[in-house]
A = this chain, B = another copy of it.
Amino acid sequence: MLGLMQDRPLALPHVFHRAEQLFGHKRLITAEASGERVTTVAEWAVRVRRLATVLDSLGLSADARVGTFCWNTDRHLELYLAAPCTGRVLHTLNIRLFPEQLVYIVNHAEDEVVFVDRSLLPLLWPLVDKFETVRHIVVIDDGAEHEIPEDPRVRDYEELLAAAEPFAGRFTVEEENSAAAMCYTSGTTGNPKGVVYSHRSAVLHSLITLTSDAFALSERDVVLPIVPMFHANAWGIPYGALLAGADLVLPGPNMTPEAIVGQLERHRVTVTGGVPTIWMGVRPLLADHDLSSLRAIVCGGSAVPRSLSEAYREAIGVPMLHAWGMTETSPIASVSSRRSHQEEWSEDERADARARQGQPVPFVDLRIADPESGEELPWDDRATGELQAAGPWIAKEYYRGEGGGAQFTKDGWLRTGDVAAVDGWGFVRLVDRTKDLVKSGGEWISSVDLENEIMAHPAVAEAAVIAIPHEKWTERPLACVVVKPGRSLTAEELIEFLTPRVAKWWLPDAVEFIDEVPKTSVGKFSKKTLRDKFAGYTLPS
């Protein structure tokens, strides 16, 4: 027997029309080179309607991939709605990818057009001749002074909008499972892989950002997403803010700590979100600014250092709100918000809980499993296994079948590649990436934990641990260590330092001193590069 409820698709046109109808008076504030632009949702909505007409007039296919190479701006937000509301697929290009990766993903997605901020032209233009399917480069003039190439493919965003009539009537997307947006993983191994979001996943994920124990976005909020709109939907904040009716403050190209803290203070921002690096940069400025309006600082992208979160709590009374997810999970999968069982805890215990990746949000299921046998492991905070995720905004495969399904289980869960323990409250604690674990004698050594212990040595600037094949133990750890300028350190001194701090069988079999730890395009440790460098390495017997 079927229910008798209306067959209304869960689709982004609802988000657009809701914002236009109910929240036309709310503000969109964007920082540009020439100052701040303040506009309203009503004015923005008319521009979205014009842009919809522009997409038609450019002759794009019905499901064209629409590339964007943009900062967090109101213009980018116009594209966020106009592309999917007209049936096209918003393809956010991560400006931090290596050039060859950018060329790869534009061609792989078969983008027909790329919208680019003028300030980002120098990064994009040298690659344009390698884009096989791109027919238009639409330049959004953000006041940067970079020269605009004279080329028949180049169009001006404002000229196109000015010439277009606003689309009249309501946008419709009948099939909620149709593609709304896509984003490629930054790819620490192999080529970037495309994740394709549906309208259904996008609106459900947006709604989650409004729930109390996630970000609790409300009409009364003023929201500043520092997390880039060019990657992983900016954690769902742009769509969520529109759905809630919050004011949006957008930082544009100027991501200096001074610019960010200025916007936070000036606009009485209540909710913001960014990666730990951002908050490390802002931290020294806290004392000189009034940030009393802030109620939540969402932090994710990598593990939130406990000390950073505590520094904010001590300075302004607001610790980090750690959220966890990845491109493949839209990305919000878990949030470490406060729970009633913590009421009796000490501030210290709460800080420990806040440094965890938190509890799955509604509609998301998480489990940990032995990465080889697939056996599900208990939630006792001791057992560690591969974290796997299921839910309506979690990927089931990559675009065009890339990766051959290796990252998905037989029963359809995403293998996140993270290794985690989960406590009895369902709070996740990441310990490593599966591929970075050192498998020694049937047990696992967490490379991340070992690195943290090594980096606790006062002479160490940074360190990465990789596994080296070993005849007897399968694998053993090699520590790759960068010594701080002006300091010295020997392998023996380091081992002596570690001996009281880790289990004896965790002690590295060798220490190599290097100049720096290689990084990926988005700034993460590239252990792949290190493994290549030390391929064939012989451990001392």
Residues in A lying within 8 Å of B, measured CB to CB? 1-8, 10, 14, 17-18, 21-22, 25-26, 63, 89, 175, 177-180, 195-201, 203, 207-208, 210-213, 216-220, 243-245, 247, 338-341, 343, 359-360, 362-363, 365, 390-399, 412, 414, 425-426
Contact of A5 among B211, B338, B360, B393 (CB under 8 A): B393
Q: What residues of chain B lie closer than 8 Å to A244, measured between beta carbons?
A: 211-213, 362
Structural contact, B4 and A392, CB atoms closer than 8 A: no
For the complex, give the distance between the alpha carbons of A426 and B19 in Å: 11
Given the known inter-chain contacts A213-B244, A219-B213, please indicate yes or no for A199 contacting B6, CB distance below 8 A.
no
The answer to whether A4 and B398 have CB atoms under 8 Å apart is yes
Q: Assess the A4–B207 pair: CB atoms within 8 A.
A: no
A-B complex: 6 closest residue pairs judged by Cβ atoms:
A3-B198, A212-B218, A210-B211, A4-B196, A22-B426, A5-B201
Nearest B residue (CB) for A195: B4
Q: Is the CB of A210 within 8 A of B362?
A: yes
Contacts of A198 in B (CB 8 A): 2-5
Residues of B within 8 A of A360 (CB): 18, 22
Residues on the B chain within 8 Å of A1, using CB = 63, 89, 178-179, 196
Residues of B within 8 A of A179 (CB): 1-4
What are 13 A-to-B residue pairs whose CB atoms are below 8 Å? A1-B89, A2-B177, A3-B180, A4-B198, A5-B177, A6-B390, A6-B412, A7-B396, A8-B391, A8-B394, A22-B359, A219-B340, A220-B338
CB of A410 to closest CB in B, whole Å: 13
Chain B residue at smallest Cβ distance from A426: B22
A3-B196, A5-B200, A177-B3 known; A211 vs B211 contact (CB < 8 Å): yes
Query: With A3-B199, A200-B3, A394-B6 in contact, is A212–B207 under 8 Å at CB?
Result: no
Contacts of A2 in B (CB 8 A): 175, 177-179, 196, 198
Measured CA separation A210–B5 after assembly (Å): 21
Cα separation A412 to B414 with both chains bound (whole Å): 38
User: How many whole Å from A168's CB to the nearest CB in chain B?
Assistant: 14
In the complex, A67 Cα to B339 Cα: how many Å?
36
Chain B hits for A207, CB < 8 A:
207-208, 211, 362-363
CB distance from A163 to the nearest CB of B (A): 28
**Residues of chain B with a CB closer than 8 A to A425's CB:** 22
Please tell me if the beta carbons of A178 and B25 are within 8 angstroms of each other in the complex.
no
Pairwise interchain contact B219-A216, C-beta atoms closer than 8 A:
no
Report Cα–Cα, A395/B394, bound state, in Å: 29
Given known contacts A4-B398, A5-B393, A213-B244, what 4 new A-B pairs fall within 8 Å (CB)?
Answer: A2-B179, A3-B198, A211-B244, A212-B212
Write out the residue numbers on chain B whose beta carbons fall within 8 Å of the beta carbon of A195: 4
In the bound complex, do residue A3 and residue B212 qualify as a contact, i.e. CB atoms below 8 Å apart?
Answer: no
Asked if A395 and B6 sit within 8 Å, CB to CB, the answer is: yes
- Shortest CB–CB separation between residue A60 and chain B, in angstroms? 13
Asked whether A21 and B426 contact (CB < 8 A) given A5-B395, A363-B10, the answer is: yes
User: Which residues of the other chain, B, contact A392 by a CB distance below 8 angstroms?
Assistant: 5-6, 8, 10
**How far apart are the CA atoms of A21 and B10 in the complex, in Å?**
28
CA distance A412 to B6 in the complex (A): 7
Contacts of A391 in B (CB 8 A): 6, 8
Chain B contacts for A175, CB-based, 8 A: 2
The one of B178, B208, B339, B398 in contact with A3, judged by C-beta atoms closer than 8 angstroms, is B178
- A212→B26 CA distance, assembly (Å): 17
- Report chain B residues within 8 Å CB of A203: 363
Whole-angstrom CA separation of A213 from B414 in the bound complex: 32
Say which residue of B89, B196, B219 sits within 8 Å of A339 (CB atoms).
B219
Q: CA–CA, A210 to B362, complex, Å?
A: 10
Query: Which of B3, B63, B245 contacts A201, CB < 8 Å?
Result: B3
Shortest distance from the beta carbon of A230 to any chain B beta carbon, whole Å: 19
Instruction: For residue A449, give the distance in angstroms from its CB to the closest CB of chain B.
Output: 26
Chain B residues within 8 Å of A180, by CB? 3
| Cα of A6 to Cα of B220 in the assembled complex, Å | 33
Q: What chain B residues lie within 8 Å of A340 (beta carbons)? A: 26, 219-220, 247
Among A5, A175, A341, max chain B CB count under 10 A is at A5
Q: Which residue of B lies closest to A178 (CB)?
A: B2
Cα distance, A455 to B394, chains bound together (Å):
57
Verify B201–A212 contact, CB threshold 8 A.
no
Smallest CB gap from A3: residue in B: B198
Bound-complex Cα distance A339 to B210 (A): 15
Q: A200 to chain B: which residues have CB within 8 Å?
A: 3, 5
Q: State how many angstroms separate the Cβ of A538 from the closest Cβ of chain B.
A: 44
Assembly CA distance A391 to B396 (angstroms) = 27
Give, as a whole number of angstroms, the nearest-CB distance from A416 to chain B: 13
Q: How far does the Cβ of A235 sit from chain B's closest Cβ, in whole Å?
A: 17
